[in-house]
Amino acid sequence: MSFNTFGHMFRVTTFGESHGPALGCVVDGCPPRIALTEADIQPFLDRRRPGQSRFTTQRQEPDAVRILSGVFADPATGEQVTTGTPITLMIENVDQRSKDYSAIANAYRPGHAGYTYDVKYGVHDYRGGGRASARETAARVAAGAIARKIVPGLNVRAALIQIGPHKIDRDRWDWDEVTRNPFFTPDAEMAKTFADYLDGVRKNGSSVGAVIEVIAVGVPAGLGAPVYAKLDADLAGALMGINAVKGVEIGDGFAAAMLSGEDNADEMRMGNDGQPLFLSNHAGGILGGISTGQPVVARFAVKPTSSILHPRRTVDRYGTETELITKGRHDPCVGIRAVPVGEAMVACVIADHYLRQRGQVGEAPEWPFPKQPSA
């Protein structure tokens, strides 16, 4: 990972600020001959797009993606496919409203990146958070839409499972429900609680955190590597790298610390398909940094946004103490829009490891092994 590049074989370089002319990404290393048009990407951006309910920021951005390079409509088929060269995705910024940033131009929002950008770079595009804006995640979601097309049979889905103190009941988990409510939550009952709760938070000018769970099915066994390219390590880095994320878990996560070895071990039997059947999935689909073929399960916690109407004590870039209220359009719960972002990051990590595994090992070994090795 370079400063703004993610991945090794499937590499995503994002660019752009909240209030610049455009943002986007360059996807390098994508395999050729994959059907790809804007229509494959736009639906994912639409899910992440703000302003779709009263629970997310009211900034109005069409987030229309445009493919600038890396595809070609093969005349032999008429179908537009990837060419193996870099795919550039651009999203123009439309609703910047650069009007009045005088309040935050110099004073740091507590909990926000303004101070660290200033002390690192000595300069900071403070308009809308600049590069630290959650708008950057649109580029990730766009890249994730391509990543999904690389691994055959892969299905990456995420769901919001907690807002503030309210956690879903996993027994009511219904994937269809995720598409029906504005919280991407699988628990229809809890969606009502979330709505009431967030209305209060919003009216109060406050904000609150959330927890999201990502589940990837169809991950081939054998992705990852023993030491520094562990699949779980790369997932942890990818998810912790999403704006405002403060915690990441794989499988049982922190709860695993309380388990005994015999409870934690996922026992194995032979499945009808001749492949191993795990009797549980405490490991979250990853052992020794390598995928087992079970669903890969990850969770991440999103902190509440620092853009709130409550006055907070702070300092400005000249070293003067002051107080700050953040007016303007904001998300009472930024965790909601992190759901499609989490999916995208997991898809990118898996696509990258899929290509790396194919590179190093080529065709997967046939398992189980024959008892008598061929001479």
Per CB under 8 A, 193 contacts a copy of itself:
no
Complex with a copy of itself: residue 94 or 270, whichever CB lies closer: 270
Three-state DSSP state, 331: coil
Q: Which is nearer to a copy of itself, 99 or 269 (CB)?
A: 269
* Amino acid at residue number 285: G
Q: Which residue carries 């209220």 as its tokens?
A: 325
Contacts of 116 (CB under 8 A, 6+ apart): none
Residue 152 lies near a copy of itself (rule: CB under 8 A): no
Output phi, psi for 150, to 5 deg: -90, -40
The one among 98, 176, 179, 260 contacting a copy of itself by CB under 8 A: 260
Over its C-alpha atoms, the chain yields an Rg (Å, rounded) of 22
Q: At what angle do helices 338-361 and 38-48 cross, to 10 degrees?
A: 140
43-72 binders of a copy of itself (CB under 8 A) = 66, 68-70, 72
By rule CB under 8 A, what count of residues binds a copy of itself? Answer: 173
Interface residue with a copy of itself, options 45, 65, 113, 190 (CB under 8 A): 113
- Minimum CB separation of residue 300 from a copy of itself in Å reads 9
The yes or no reply on residue 226 touching a copy of itself (CB under 8 A) is: yes
| Residue 94 neighbours by CB under 8 Å, 6+ apart | 60, 61, 62
Stretch that binds a copy of itself, among 36-44, 45-53, 80-88, 181-189 (CB under 8 A): 80-88
Among 48, 149, 202, 230, which residue sits at the site for a copy of itself (rule: CB under 8 A)? 230
Which of 176/313 has CB closer to a copy of itself? 313
User: Would you give the end-to-end CA distance of the chain in angstroms?
Assistant: 44
Angle separating helix axes 137-147 and 338-361, nearest 10 degrees: 40
Token pair listed for 267: 């026992």
Candidates 41-49, 169-177, 190-198, 231-239 — which segment interacts with a copy of itself by CB under 8 A?
A: 231-239
Shortest distance in whole angstroms from residue 349 CB to a copy of itself: 10
Binding characters for a copy of itself, 2-21, by CB under 8 A (x = yes): xxxxx-xx-x-xxxxx--xx
Q: Considering only residues 276, 281, 328, 329, which one is a binding residue for a copy of itself as defined by CB under 8 A?
A: 276
Residue 221 within binding range of a copy of itself, rule CB under 8 A: yes
Query: Residue 165 phi/psi, 5° resolution?
Result: -85, -5
Phi, psi of 146 (to 5 degrees): -75, -45
Q: Which is nearer to a copy of itself, 154 or 201 (CB)?
A: 201
**Contact criterion met (CB below 8 Å) for 185 and 178:** yes
- The residue from 103, 118, 188, 195 that contacts a copy of itself (CB under 8 A) is 118
Does 319 bind a copy of itself (CB under 8 A)? Our answer is yes
Question: Quick one: 280 exposed, middle or buried, by C-beta within 10 A (0-12, 13-18, 19+)?
Answer: middle
Figure out which of the listed residues 55, 108, 183, 197 binds a copy of itself, where binding follows CB under 8 A: 108
Angle between helices 231-240 and 338-361 (to 10 degrees): 150
Nearer to a copy of itself, 58 or 206 (CB): 206
CB 298 within 8 A of CB 237: no
Q: For residue 63, give Cα distances in angstroms to 47, 59, 139.
A: 10, 11, 10
Asked if 281 is part of the footprint of a copy of itself (rule: CB under 8 A), the reply reads no
258 interacts with a copy of itself by CB under 8 A: yes
Rule CB under 8 A: say whether 268 interacts with a copy of itself. Answer: yes
Q: Which is nearer to a copy of itself, 185 or 314 (CB)?
A: 314
Contacting residue, 56, 57, 185, 306, with a copy of itself by CB under 8 A: 306
Q: Dig out the tokens for 375 from the structure.
A: 């001479």
39, 171, 228, 273: which one binds a copy of itself (CB under 8 A) = 228
